[in-house]
Chains A and B, each alone.
Chain A
């Protein structure tokens, strides 16, 4: 990677919003395609931010800042992406499950997914199975992303999956789960399609799910 794309990549990792928007605007002015800017500059930068987080180099504040910077860059290319009929990666309905009020992790996942060009419908915290079902219907979502921070609330993930089945929607959506007390095993046990240990991995998992 070099030149303008490298500039975008570096400035997102540094959390430098002014530098990022300047680089993105210049890239557009120079005729780079918005898709290239998105995939080669921004998405790769966020993947690196995720890696740094996993390694313990970055913490939640650095992730939040990078995601915000990325969104500022994304706002500049969005009109052109729409014009070019670039389809989004998919529509995600996201929320922290019923009874659970922890939404910091879920917010990070939403920002990272938006950064990776998903359309995200954020239902907030304490989301009931019915609310998930309704949101899938009304938004034509293809991914449901559920978060739980408590061992006491995580069983509501299974309840939500059952509700999706009962509503005849289970075949239409992929279910992605995550949160501190979860594990890959648990995700399998409750019949989720994907599990991510943290926000940075959620993007890769979501992409793999829509590609599958």
Chain B
């Protein structure tokens, strides 16, 4: 896979728009409370395609497959481990269905396993590598344009994901961390450490997604930009949610508020921007407008 449109676009210096949230938007569309969104790949695929289409219409250049929890380790919990390959493949098919006839790129989403590697946790490194390899293979074979290892918090697990992905796929690789304790991840990783360790593994893009507030995410971005020589992916949450009287999460950051920050994100070094939890298609439409302004 010598030629990649994604990498060509990046090296031409073009700013790109990635999509918004998957989980919170599917919930707003009726994803049952307590169900991981990967389940809808099998059970309610039309809604996934519709959400992808909404992001494409909003101006996304890249959409992510609904395969965040698609490692066998993560799917084990919902009894779907045996269907891992099928879920990943289907997730890609749904994304391709939504982008048919457009230039929009499809990125294979790979989230954390939900377990901690040894010695701190119980997960063997080789088991993690194998699980990530299996997911990366299914996504690659189904035809994604790039792989996005996202919402990572632990260097060991993210490294296992990169090794797994690289062992089966030569697609462009984005690795994105969630700094949910401000500018550190829950295991204490700083953007500079992440940059040093993950760049050394030979990835194409470093990123920040999810995390805490927009302010904290911007700080993390500034720290990363200081040390990174790779292009930067940036998909912050639309702030942190509070709950309304019916216990539904409300994100107070409006599309206008989020879009108003886009120039700052770009100035701080982000080349690919989008949003994580709470980012609706309307948020994304205004973000895209700001990027392309």
Quick check: which of A56-64, A135-143, A161-169 contacts chain B, the rest being far away?
A: A56-64
A152 at the A/B interface (Cβ < 8 Å)?
Answer: yes
**Chain B residues whose CB sits within 8 angstroms of the CB of A64 once the complex forms:** 116, 120-121
Are A104 and B116 in contact, with the CB atoms below 8 A? yes
**Assembly CA distance A56 to B184 (angstroms):** 9
Q: Which residues of A contact B (CB under 8 A)?
A: 56, 58-62, 64-65, 97-104, 125-126, 150-156, 180-181, 183, 186, 189
Beyond contacts A104-B114, A189-B247: 17 other A-B pairs, Cβ-Cβ < 8 A, are A56-B181, A60-B187, A62-B188, A64-B120, A64-B121, A101-B114, A103-B114, A104-B116, A104-B121, A150-B23, A151-B241, A151-B249, A152-B31, A154-B247, A155-B34, A156-B34, A180-B180
Which chain B residue shows the least CB distance to A154? B247
Contact of B77 among A125, A152, A189 (CB under 8 A): A125
**Chain B residues whose CB sits within 8 angstroms of the CB of A97 once the complex forms:** 34
**Assembly CA distance A101 to B73 (angstroms):** 11
Question: Which residue, of A104, A125, A156, A181, has the highest number of chain B Cβ atoms within 10 A?
Answer: A104
**Chain B residues whose CB sits within 8 angstroms of the CB of A189 once the complex forms:** 247
Name the distance in Å between B44's Cβ and chain A's nearest Cβ. 15
The residues in B between 90 and 132 inclusive whose CB is less than 8 angstroms from any CB of A are 114-116, 120-121
Name the distance in Å between B35's Cβ and chain A's nearest Cβ. 6
Name 24 A/B residue pairs within 8 A (Cβ), A-sorted. A56-B182, A58-B188, A59-B184, A59-B186, A59-B187, A60-B187, A60-B188, A64-B116, A99-B33, A99-B35, A101-B114, A102-B114, A104-B121, A126-B77, A150-B23, A150-B34, A151-B24, A151-B248, A151-B249, A152-B33, A153-B33, A156-B33, A183-B242, A189-B247
Against A, the Cβ 8 Å flags (1 = close, 0 = not) of B1-44 are: 00000000000000000000001100100011111100000000
**Chain B residues whose CB sits within 8 angstroms of the CB of A126 once the complex forms:** 77-78
**Assembly CA distance A56 to B243 (angstroms):** 26
**Assembly CA distance A35 to B247 (angstroms):** 43
Chain B residues with a Cβ closer than 8 Å to the other chain, count: 31
**Chain B residues whose CB sits within 8 angstroms of the CB of A58 once the complex forms:** 188
Q: Which residues of B contact A (CB under 8 A)?
A: 23-24, 27, 31-36, 74, 77-78, 114-116, 120-121, 180-182, 184-188, 241-243, 247-249
Contact of A61 among B27, B31, B188 (CB under 8 A): B188
**Chain B residues whose CB sits within 8 angstroms of the CB of A125 once the complex forms:** 77
Contact of B120 among A61, A154, A181 (CB under 8 A): A61
Which chain B residue shows the least CB distance to A62? B188
Name the distance in Å between B197's Cβ and chain A's nearest Cβ. 15
Which chain A residue shows the least CB distance to B189? A59
Are B243 and A153 in contact, with the CB atoms below 8 A? no
Name the distance in Å between B21's Cβ and chain A's nearest Cβ. 12
Question: Which residue, of B116, B181, B241, B243, has the highest number of chain A Cβ atoms within 10 A?
Answer: B243
Are A59 and B181 in contact, with the CB atoms below 8 A? yes
**Assembly CA distance A59 to B114 (angstroms):** 17
Which chain A residue shows the least CB distance to B278? A151
**Chain B residues whose CB sits within 8 angstroms of the CB of A153 once the complex forms:** 33-34
